[in-house]
Structure 1
Amino acid sequence: MSTIAPKLTAARRAPGRALDSIGQHGLFYFRVFAGAPRALRRHPGEIVKLIAELGTGTGALALVGGSVVIITFITFFAGGVAAAQGFESSSNVGVGSVSPALAAIFTSRLSTPLLAGVALSVTLGAATTSQLGAMRISEEIDAIEVMAIPSLPYLASTRVLAGMIVITPLYVFATLGGFAANYLFLVFYYDVGTGNFSHYFFLYLHPLDIVFSYFQVLAMVTVVMLVHTFFGYTATGGPAGVGEAVGRSVRSSLSAVMIVNLLIAMAIYANFNTFHLAG
């Protein structure tokens, strides 16, 4: 009985704790967006610095080209998988020549936006949590408040805005990486003719699919930066607490990326179909 009682008590308190956590997240996100105008007016230099830092990385990450190279490589290999699966599946039913159409649809609608969001979570997001967490436990955030500088707009709002700005060039390279893999695998490995690839690929690659996928990634990077800034800004417990905050933030943001991607894809493609088999 003595071991069951604490578990029952914890189970009764779990809904209340979950509700408190949701409220804390919601209030933090509201304050971050409310501080965005101040961040743009007062801290444009910090935003520019963060854009460069998020795009190229720091330390060992910068040596390999930063987040641009990492995200491009991930989407490149995802595009290769899409090309291979599309060719093998279509060849099984005797229509291997239309495999570029499958690669175009899968790469633009699914693999590139989803994997770009995942890559952002484990690169930009984790770095953001560790930076803010280190500042919190070393009392740098308290020092900023003592200097009469609102820390939330200066540290959190600037990072969210920088993430929303830097995603544009990152996503351009990610999309090009996926499409380049489609071309290289299908034309040079599976011997699909260049003219055949160009015809079917661009016939079924609707420009609106690329626009929609960009908005998907923009929404995902906003959610990723909000989640990671929250966990970093509220980190406690010393270095071990920062490590725990990074782990929790990555798990939370990965789940959020999947949910956001699903909801936006359903909202976009449920009633707006850009795929027409007849061309």
Structure 2
Amino acid sequence: MSVLSPKLEAVRRAPLRTLDAIGAHGLFYARVLTGIPRALRRHPGEIVKLIAELGTGTGALALVGGSIVIVASITFFAGAVAAAQGFESSSSLGVGSLSPLLAAFFTARLSTPLLAGVALSVTLGAATTSQLGAMRISEEIDAIEVMAIPSLPYLATTRVAAGMIVITPLYIFATLGGFLADYLLLVFFYDVGAGNFSHYFFLYLHPMDIVFSYIQVLGMVIVVMLVHTFYGYNAKGGPAGVGEAVGRSVRASLSGVMVVNLLIAMAIYSNFNTFHLGG
């Protein structure tokens, strides 16, 4: 009985702990988002510095081009996979020349926004958690509070705002990487023909698909930055605790990316269809 009692007590308290965690996350996110006007007004220099840091990275990461190269590389290979699968599938039906339209459809709507969100989680997000976690365990955040500077807008809100701004050039390079992979693979490897590629690719690539995918990525980056700033800002337990916070934040943000991508796609494409295939 003495062995079972702690376990039963833990099971009984699990729903309460879950509600407490949801409340803590919700309150933190609300405070961060409502602090964006203050961060833009009081800390514009910090936001500019963070934009450069998130976009190009620091140290060894900056030598390879930072997050831009990482995100573009991931979407490049994802676009290559979409092009290869589209060509092989369409060729089995005898319509291999139509493979560019499949590449345009899947690259713009599926692979680029989803893979960009995942890449942001493991690059920008993980770096944010580790930075804030290191500041928390070294008592730098407490020192900022002692100097009468609200630490949440200065450290968390500025990073969320910087992520929302830096996502635009990152997404441009991510999209170009996916489209470049489609062109190179289909034209030079599968001999589709440059003219045939241009005709079918741009015939079925609706400009609104690019806009919608950007909206998806913008929603995902907001979730990623909010989740990672929460875990980094509230890290505890020394260096091991920071590592644990990074692991938990990556798992949580990846789940959030999938959910946000699904919800935004359902909200957009259920009422506005840009793909029409007719004879």
TM-score range relative to shorter protein: over 0.9
Aligned: 1:202 with 2:202 = yes
Shift of 1:6: 2.2
Aligned: 1:67 with 2:67 = yes
Higher mean C-alpha deviation, range 157-166 or range 54-63: 54-63
Residue 258 of structure 1: aligned partner = 258
Shift of 1:59: 1.3
* Identity of matched residues, %: 84
Aligned: 1:38 with 2:32 = no
Distance 2:56 2:227 in 1: 21
1:215-234 deviation per Cα after TM superposition (whole angstroms, max 9, x unaligned): 10000000000000000000
Shift of 1:10: 1.2
Distance 2:250 2:23 in 1: 20
1:37-116 alignment, distance < 5 Å = 37-116=37-116
Distance 2:10 2:185 in 1: 54
- Which ranges of structure 1 fall in alignment gaps of 5 or more residues? none
Shift of 1:173: 0.2
Distance 2:21 2:50 in 1: 28
**Paired AA for residue 225 in structure 2:** M
Residue 238 of structure 1: aligned partner = 238
Shift of 1:7: 2.1
Residue 181 of structure 2: aligned partner = 181
**Paired AA for residue 16 in structure 1:** L
Distance 2:66 2:42 in 1: 28
Distance 1:3 1:197 in 2: 68
1:178-229 deviation per Cα after TM superposition (whole angstroms, max 9, x unaligned): 0000000000000001111011100110000000000100000000000000
**Paired AA for residue 199 in structure 2:** H
Tell me the SS of whatever aligns to 1:94.
coil
Distance 1:120 1:8 in 2: 40
Aligned residues: 279
Tell me the SS of whatever aligns to 1:200.
helix
Distance 1:103 1:274 in 2: 15
Instruction: Please report the TM-score for the alignment, with normalisation by the length of structure 1.
Output: 0.99
Shift of 1:3: 3.3
Aligned: 1:122 with 2:122 = yes
